[in-house]
Structure 1
Amino acid sequence: MAALVFATPVMACDIDGLGKGDYEYEDGSSYRFGDEGMNEIPIMEGSKNFKYLNESAAVPLQDSDSGLPVTGADVYAHKGYAYMGTHRLGSGSNEGIRVFDMKDPSNPVEVAKFADNLPGTWQEKIIVKSVNTPHFKGDLAVVSVQRFNGDAEKVGTVIYDVTNPENPVELGFWETPEAHLNGGGTHELYLTTQGNRALLLAANSGSYRRSGGAIHDFTIVDVSNPAEPEELFQFDPATVIPNVDSNYRFADEHGQTRSISVHSVIADTTGKYAYLSAWDMGTVILDISNPEDPEYVGRTSFEQDVQGAAHSAALAKGGNVLIETREVFNPTRHGYEQGFGYVRIYDIKDKSDPKLLSTFQTDNAANKTTGYPGFTVHDPKVQGNTLFLSHYFDGVRIVDITDPSTPEEIGAYVPEKSNIWGVFAHRNYILASDMETGLKVLQKNNRNK
């Protein structure tokens, strides 16, 4: 099992000039194995008292019929169960969502698989919440359904009852509009509640372009009755930026041509505010207290030499601090600063005017210039004053944000062949999804061996 390294990342030697652990395909592209030689179980130092954090389990995903490896996507946890999506698969099969009983975190047991009855699709994102509406009471799961190939009959979001996680029951399906029939479907999503209403927030990245402008990338859907989802609202960025063209592009205040794509979305704990990760448009904040008619509040923006790429968001400090991750794959793009994507942290006490407090960037993200997907940051999760980041080749990064103006890395987990897609802190363990090698479990307990 892989060990962890804390405070200062261990640097391995360059191999043939490609960078740490890089190897090369025959076509000249490169891939990278994770850090090796981390054999000791270290003690976590820092404000969070993560003592003896270690990898306690690693569970590969396999095709149940062929036994072929399955590529992992995002990971979520709810009431002691882990839910893991599947990404683009080498076998081309629809592998849906895997459910693991985490009663013993050192031995996750796969107990169910669902959303695997949709040929030609893949399931990247899942959110599970407890809801209580006039039509449904229990644990509701919303799952993104994206087109993998021409076999897909419908794309969008599928809705399941997972009150019993070991026996998921399909309740309904929200299909992206007919104009988007040949499009990609729902990329990322969120589920929130307002009183006795349950709302699906769907980021259908690229919808505007694929539909010829007929629909926009962000949609609010009422799923209070999961069997009959009702679309309430679509966000049109042109209501905020007047010069958005037919390709969803605009010129910013620096004269840089920027691109809009609502890639992801979250809501605060009250369900009042939605945070849209809108790529070069930044993180867009909407007041969705009236989901039929949301109001634009404010957004983040970028300096002239900063690639946009607002990919995902998380909230801290009671919703007064915004964590924005930027998924930059091209570290040497002409006209922009060098480096893979990193974190920007904002004060949003005044949501109409987000103020940049600080940035956090790993050494590899700043200095490496090769490899795909590389060392860019991916997704953020916050638990208390601790920020957890999935970071592809850079594994999981753990950052103390007690003072958000001075983030401090206090831990890092980089497994062999690291390609970490998602991270989620739950109970006394941390989950990480590795695209190549499956579900990883890190326990923050008093283990010393």
Structure 2
Amino acid sequence: MKKKQLLNLTLAGALTFSLIPATAFAHDELGGGGEKGENLEGAELSVPLLEGTKNVGHWKEVAAVELQEVKDGVKNSTGDVYSHKGYAYLGTHSANGGEGGVRVFDMKDPANPKEVASFAHHEGTWQEKVIVKSVNTPDFKGDLAAVSVQKMETGSDATGGFLLYDVTDPENPEKLGFWEDTSGARGTHELYLTVQNGKPYVLTANCYADYYSHGEQMDVHLVDVSDPAKPESIYQFDPRDHIEEVSDDNYDGYNWTDEDGISRAAFAHSVMTDNNGETAYLSYWDLGTIILDIKDPENPVYLGRTDFAPTVQGAAHSSTLAKGGNVLIETREVFGPVREGFESAYGYTMIYDIKDKANPTPLSSFKTDFTETIPGGATVHDPKVRGNTLYLSHYSGGVRAVDITDPANPVETGAYIPSRSNIWGVYVDRNYVLASDMGQGLKVLQKTPDNDAPTESE
């Protein structure tokens, strides 16, 4: 790979509040420092912390709604959050046996979200990710939802993969189809539904599929869902076939020894595409963010990937785009900041110039110094961009807003931290921001018209 750079960041000021120590739950059964967050506990605040300057100075928490119990006495925790045509869709995580499905909220009045439906309650699994798009094919016309399905336990009799639902009427979802991951791993952890030239496709991130199937099935599938009743996998991405530094000699589908002789974890954690569905971005943990040209979906072309300095833990977790697709935002999730031979750092955000996708060029990094204030929840999680503002979900660190007008000089401009914050996902829609709080449900921030509005909740 062409570079081995590590950029420094001017640290944002630390928050000053007390923290109740917490443990964390990892979904990575292979031991490579995988995703955590289920049992994190944030600060015990009497009111939410909500402060900001540019672009976020007039946000206000207008709603905090817990999920309804779909099973008597069972409280589900939230996964990711998405919004489409005035409805919010919340996936659910694995707490209390999973099977929480996707929750649908009517957002006509953002200050009073109404949970109006739930769907995708797949036995023995949890449903973390949901994406909704409007599609029009000979077999289906309407709003299509793709939902990730991941087994509670590897090797169980449950089936993992993804579900497809008709949510044209969001209050009455109808099941259309199911795509099964047959690798022997847990199923689809994250996914992305995209539309290319009118044709819908789902990209999967089936963590450890390559490893568990001994190379028979790959982590990333590109699935044609033009007929949602008959989803068809048309392509699988094998890093050994495309990346010079990866071969059978140094990679078994999970364990990878890089060109510096450093043992790393490499698996597909998350996937996304640009707006027209022609370029895919695969968050591949210590292999970085892999960029594919998918204009011909059956024959994608490897373009390039981001890279890490030998002292950086890696952990490319999620990504998003800015500046018309010329800038890549890469979040790296690291809960264990101390590892022999590596820099001491929780997971942070990298920003790249990708005008030349074969050579992603680091522009800057963004860190928030939580080392003392939030020792159990300091890592970044997921990114979203609206205009020149980057929104980051940060577990116990809440939601962080970052001005990226100059991507080479990101500046934190706002923070939203509910009491006992455990923010998994964030999504920006119209004049409000949605945040999924794992233990507490849906949080809604909305712009206030009053220029003299307080910058901290009262």
Partner of 2:238: 236
Aligned residues between the structures: 421
Partner of 1:36: 45
Q: Distance in 2 between matches of 1:54 and 1:132?
A: 37
Q: Mind listing any 5+ residue stretches in structure 1 that lack a counterpart?
A: 1-6, 13-19
Whether 2:281 is the aligned partner of 1:275: answer yes
Match of 1:136 among 140, 150, 153: 140
Q: Is the 8 A contact 1:35 1:414 kept in 2?
A: no
Q: Distance in 2 between matches of 1:24 and 1:131?
A: 43
Residue 152 of structure 1: how far off its partner (Å) = 4.7
Q: Distance in 1 between matches of 2:307 and 2:416?
A: 31
Q: Which amino acid aligns with 1:34?
A: A
Match of 1:169 among 156, 174, 182: 174
Q: Which amino acid aligns with 1:445?
A: T
Q: Is the 8 A contact 2:206 2:220 kept in 1?
A: yes
Instruction: Using structure 1 for the length normalisation, give the TM-score.
Output: 0.89
Q: Distance in 2 between matches of 1:151 and 1:258?
A: 27
Q: Which has the higher contact order (CA 8 A, sep 6+)?
A: 2
Whether 2:213 is the aligned partner of 1:191: answer no
Q: Is the 8 A contact 2:188 2:207 kept in 1?
A: yes
Q: Distance in 1 between matches of 2:331 and 2:49?
A: 30
Partner of 1:110: 115
Whether 2:53 is the aligned partner of 1:55: answer no
Residue 252 of structure 1: how far off its partner (Å) = 2.3
Whether 2:409 is the aligned partner of 1:406: answer yes
Cα root mean square deviation, aligned:
1.9
Q: 1:195 to 1:395 in 2, by over 3 A?
A: same
Q: 1:335 to 1:136 in 2, by over 3 A?
A: same
Q: Distance in 2 between matches of 1:341 and 1:321?
A: 20
Q: Distance in 2 between matches of 1:348 and 1:402?
A: 16
Residue 367 of structure 1: how far off its partner (Å) = 5.4
SS in 1 for 2:267: strand
Q: Which amino acid aligns with 1:105?
A: P
Partner of 1:266: 272
Q: 1:40 to 1:61 in 2, by over 3 A?
A: closer
Q: Distance in 2 between matches of 1:445 and 1:268?
A: 31
Residue 62 of structure 1: how far off its partner (Å) = 3.5
Question: After superposition, where does 1:337-352 map in structure 2 within 5 Å?
Answer: 337-352=343-358
The superposition leaves residues 58-112 of structure 1 with CA deviations (integer Å, 9 ceiling, x where unpaired) of 011242231432111100001110000110122x151100000000001100010
The superposition leaves residues 347-377 of structure 1 with CA deviations (integer Å, 9 ceiling, x where unpaired) of 000000000000000011x556842xx2100
Q: Distance in 2 between matches of 1:244 and 1:226?
A: 38
Q: Distance in 1 between matches of 2:382 and 2:216?
A: 29
Q: Distance in 2 between matches of 1:169 and 1:359?
A: 43
Partner of 1:45: 53
Whether 2:299 is the aligned partner of 1:301: answer no
Q: Which amino acid aligns with 2:204?
A: A
Residue 54 of structure 1: how far off its partner (Å) = 1.4
SS in 2 for 1:261: coil
Residue 302 of structure 1: how far off its partner (Å) = 0.2
Match of 2:125 among 121, 131, 152: 121
Q: 1:279 to 1:41 in 2, by over 3 A?
A: closer
Q: 1:315 to 1:40 in 2, by over 3 A?
A: closer
Q: 1:58 to 1:40 in 2, by over 3 A?
A: closer
Partner of 1:95: 100
Partner of 1:421: 424
Q: Is the 8 A contact 1:9 1:412 kept in 2?
A: no
Q: Is the 8 A contact 2:294 2:300 kept in 1?
A: yes
Q: Distance in 1 between matches of 2:225 and 2:49?
A: 48
Q: Mind listing any 5+ residue stretches in structure 2 that lack a counterpart?
A: 1-11, 24-38
Partner of 2:440: 437
SS in 2 for 1:318: helix
Instruction: Using structure 2 for the length normalisation, give the TM-score.
Output: 0.88
SS in 1 for 2:324: helix
SS in 2 for 1:54: strand
Q: 1:407 to 1:427 in 2, by over 3 A?
A: same
